[in-house]
Structure 1
Amino acid sequence: MTLLYRIVLLALLLGSAGLQAEQLAVEARRGDGIYSLLRRYDLVAYGCNIDEFKRLNRLTNSSKLLVGYRYELPIEVFRYDGTSIRSTTGNDDWDRAVAIKEYNESLLASGLRESDYRQDMLLYVPYHIDHCSGNFSQVKREPDIVNLGENAGSEEELDRLKDRAADRQPIAVPDQVTLAGPRTFKIFGERYAQVPLIDRELAGRIFYIVAGHGGPDPGAVGRRGNHLLAEDEYAYDVALRLCRNILEHGGTPYMIIRDENDGIRDEEYLTPDSDETVWGGASLPRNQKSRLFQRSDIINALYEENLAKGIIDQTMIAIHIDSRHRGQRIDVFLYYPEGDLRGAHRAEQIQRTFSAKYDQYRPGRGYEGSVSERDLHMLRETKPSGVYIELANIANPSDQQRIIEPRNRQLLADWLLLGLID
């Protein structure tokens, strides 16, 4: 038993026999950041865990963790009463108990716990179970297990419920999972939530889709008549459409910047807002450097996690809209990281696709979009191979037509997909 376990166990044994809990604290390892530490304990998928971790340890978005320093995790440690999770925590919710049990078992399986909570009598309850919005468990109640009586809730009963639940389809599919048949993804909005699986051309490939700017930063701004055009809204809509396209062909996309109430929109003029979050639900900081590192840190943590599973083909795609002189018309152009041959190859594939489509649909017009190296944060600081895409000049009236027309935004996403499939 480690010193940490002895300290926590002693504190619990000396405390009252009620529902008193201690906060779990761990030492930061070399290379740990906020996201990598929380990901190790399976906490980073919930934004409220990230915010609570920073609150507990008085950290900011730009804070660095010190090696060997102890940080409190958003996990409470209860003294297990030997009867059930529900009686231990004073909450009779069955689904909640199942979720807590699964969390403790996952930590045991990954080696982050030395023994089962029924052996060392220490029950971990992560913060998101009670404080984050949304589902905390894939397991849902059935009508015949709602009224189980006073003595229900033993661990054997929870195992039985878990086995029965395994035979049922989950109500929602997590965004990073691709399964056969119709899938439902609320992020795309009600009209586009159902995503068919057309084929598996992108199976085994992972894409981190990053719509530029968001939150307190609308990015480049243009005007068309009385309408304000915000870069982050139009880049996000194209990014969503590309993400949905990837899912249709069996790939695994992560929408790093998210707006849970927008979805894919078929209007010309998209209303600007500032409620975007990042993967996991955390809000976007006001400081630009912090915003950039927030999203690159998330991508790097996901990259390492997927690489450990043996998935090598991973690509970061950043989608932006440029701003230049009103009279300057530009075609879609692309950047890749310095020295990244795979990124260069992907960018050139996309460029060739756009060139071919221009020849097909706009003969004689010609395509002048370029591909070049660029030292940009999202290319330099992310571990996967990357492509940075500028869709148009938001100030040019002709280029504006490329992004305000919803059919054109879908074409942009479709042609980007073809460039990735080739």
Structure 2
Amino acid sequence: MRSSFRLMLFLLLVLGSTCAGAVEYLNVEVKRGDGIYSLLRRYDLIDHGCNITEFRRINYLNPNSKLLVGRQYKLPITVLPYDGESIRTTTRDQNWDRAVAIKAYNMWLLKRRLRSRDYRQDGLLYVPHHIDHCSTFGAVTPATLPTDRPIIEVPSQSTTAAPRTFNIFGPTYATVPLIDRTMAGRIFYIVAGHGGPDPGAIGRRAGHLLAEDEYAYDVALRLCRNILEHGGTPYMIVRDENDGIRDDKYLEPDRDETVWGGASLPRNQKLRLFQRSDIVNALYEENLAKGITDQTMVAIHIDSRHRGQQLDVFLYHPEGDLVGAKRAEKILSTLKGKYEEYRPGRGYGGTVSYRDLHMLRETKPSSVYIELANIANASDQVRIVSPANRQLLADWLLIGLMD
């Protein structure tokens, strides 16, 4: 009799809440350094874009809102009173796979100490928003990845020929000396922008077409080689096996770039971006399992503005990523110092800010996103068409990344 009364009370609570339109969300207090993305990442909600949209909706936030330290915010996680029988009867949904996913999520929270007790002990079941409301929910496990977004299997980092020889840099620069080990134990994922079917921003100079992907790739290669010289471990995520570092002013555009592991670049922009972020995240988890925590993603691009607008190098970092912000500031400080050294009195107008970009939002390591120049501006073009200047950019970026 008592159990029947308890069940009736439970149904009244659930049905009453449903009829009234009331939803009980998990509330959390924001800590110093938290942003929307870092907070949702902590609760394993960042892989589904609908969680971000729902978080903003239930907290009445706009895309430019910042979180306030010490304030409580609702997470897109519904809190239900557990009926003591099963997840399916609690949620009134007989889908077995759905129930397994909800249980796995609650167990993950418990393991990460984001909840103190098992849902069967404290009587509270957490149901993340994406399980019922995100079309991408089926993509969270390898067994259910859609065919147009393949499972990422990444090879180990190794030399391609003799010791300290990396063919990716081309015949002139393939042999890489080990100058010192100041960056030993640090991992960098170097992601040159665009490539394949997408050349990125386009400029024109002296009758030549300047493609963003070619010049960003050359600087990225040079930075990658610099890191190797100092004992670090860089991964070139976007690759062109037959280009290498080129000491030419005008770099011939092509479309044969691949990614780490050898896959070609999809024509669809969204799939291209997820291909890169998935590879970075797979490598990050692989290296984290080895105990390596110092990992950084560096994205290199060249902007396109009005041709009369001259730009200094400017940088972005993810919201709430204090390490990424610190590294971006260090790079900017290095660039300012070098410009003052080489061109005293010129001044420097580069900036650091956070921005909601896919490669910042969807990758797990701390991240820095770098825009090297305005490809349409004649003065800025000198910064990228000169191979000596491209090497200087790579050298100064290296100094900025050194601790």
Q: Normalising by structure 2, report the TM-score.
A: 0.62
User: Amino acid of the residue matched to residue 171 of structure 2?
Assistant: E
Say if 1:182 and 1:197, in contact at 8 Å, map to a contact too. Answer: no
Shift of 1:65: 4.6
What is residue 295 of structure 1 aligned with on the other side?
A: 276
- The answer to whether 1:335 aligns with 2:294 is no
What is residue 224 of structure 2 aligned with on the other side?
A: 243
Say if 1:212 and 1:235, in contact at 8 Å, map to a contact too. Answer: yes
Measured against aligned partners, the alpha-carbon deviations of 1:240-299 in whole angstroms (never above 9, x if no partner) come to: 000000000000000000000000000000000000000000000000000000000000
Say if 1:175 and 1:185, in contact at 8 Å, map to a contact too. Answer: no
Cα–Cα, structure 1 residues 279 and 406, in superposed 2: closer, same or farther, change >3 Å? same
Percent identical residues:
77
- Between the aligned partners of 1:215 and 1:233, the Cα distance in structure 2 is 10
- Between the aligned partners of 2:313 and 2:211, the Cα distance in structure 1 is 18
Query: Where does 1:271-310 land on structure 2 (aligned, <5 Å)?
Result: 271-310=252-291
Query: Where does 1:148-163 land on structure 2 (aligned, <5 Å)?
Result: none
Cα–Cα, structure 1 residues 264 and 67, in superposed 2: closer, same or farther, change >3 Å? closer
Shift of 1:225: 2.0
Could you say what secondary structure the match of 1:183 adopts?
Answer: coil
- The answer to whether 1:412 aligns with 2:362 is no
1:366 to 324, 347, 350: 347
Runs of 4 or more above 3 Å deviation: 62-71
1:377 to 350, 355, 358: 358
> Is there any run of 5+ residues in structure 1 with no aligned partner, and where?
1-28, 32-61, 72-127, 129-173
Cα–Cα, structure 1 residues 30 and 233, in superposed 2: closer, same or farther, change >3 Å? farther
Say if 1:178 and 1:251, in contact at 8 Å, map to a contact too. Answer: no
What is residue 354 of structure 1 aligned with on the other side?
A: 335
Shift of 1:413: 0.1
User: Amino acid of the residue matched to residue 390 of structure 2?
Assistant: R
Query: Where does 1:135-154 land on structure 2 (aligned, <5 Å)?
Result: none
- The answer to whether 1:315 aligns with 2:307 is no
Question: Aligned pairs, how many?
Answer: 266
Cα–Cα, structure 1 residues 178 and 418, in superposed 2: closer, same or farther, change >3 Å? farther
User: Amino acid of the residue matched to residue 371 of structure 2?
Assistant: E
Query: Where does 1:175-194 land on structure 2 (aligned, <5 Å)?
Result: 176-177=157-158, 183-194=164-175
Measured against aligned partners, the alpha-carbon deviations of 1:329-351 in whole angstroms (never above 9, x if no partner) come to: 00000000001000000000000
- Between the aligned partners of 1:68 and 1:223, the Cα distance in structure 2 is 44
Say if 1:402 and 1:409, in contact at 8 Å, map to a contact too. Answer: yes
Query: Where does 1:202-221 land on structure 2 (aligned, <5 Å)?
Result: 202-221=183-202
- The answer to whether 1:267 aligns with 2:286 is no
Shift of 1:367: 1.1
Shift of 1:368: 1.0
- Between the aligned partners of 1:336 and 1:70, the Cα distance in structure 2 is 31
Measured against aligned partners, the alpha-carbon deviations of 1:390-418 in whole angstroms (never above 9, x if no partner) come to: 00000000000000000000000000000
> Is there any run of 5+ residues in structure 2 with no aligned partner, and where?
1-99, 103-135, 146-152
Cα–Cα, structure 1 residues 278 and 227, in superposed 2: closer, same or farther, change >3 Å? same
User: Amino acid of the residue matched to residue 316 of structure 1?
Assistant: M
- Between the aligned partners of 2:143 and 2:282, the Cα distance in structure 1 is 21
Say if 1:178 and 1:252, in contact at 8 Å, map to a contact too. Answer: no
What is residue 81 of structure 1 aligned with on the other side?
A: none
Q: Normalising by structure 1, report the TM-score.
A: 0.59
When the two chains are superposed, the root-mean-square deviation of aligned CA atoms in Å is 2.8
Cα–Cα, structure 1 residues 275 and 69, in superposed 2: closer, same or farther, change >3 Å? closer
User: Amino acid of the residue matched to residue 257 of structure 1?
Assistant: V
Shift of 1:176: 2.5
- Between the aligned partners of 1:381 and 1:68, the Cα distance in structure 2 is 17
Cα–Cα, structure 1 residues 392 and 398, in superposed 2: closer, same or farther, change >3 Å? same
- Between the aligned partners of 1:196 and 1:229, the Cα distance in structure 2 is 31
Shift of 1:67: 5.4
User: Amino acid of the residue matched to residue 253 of structure 1?
Assistant: P
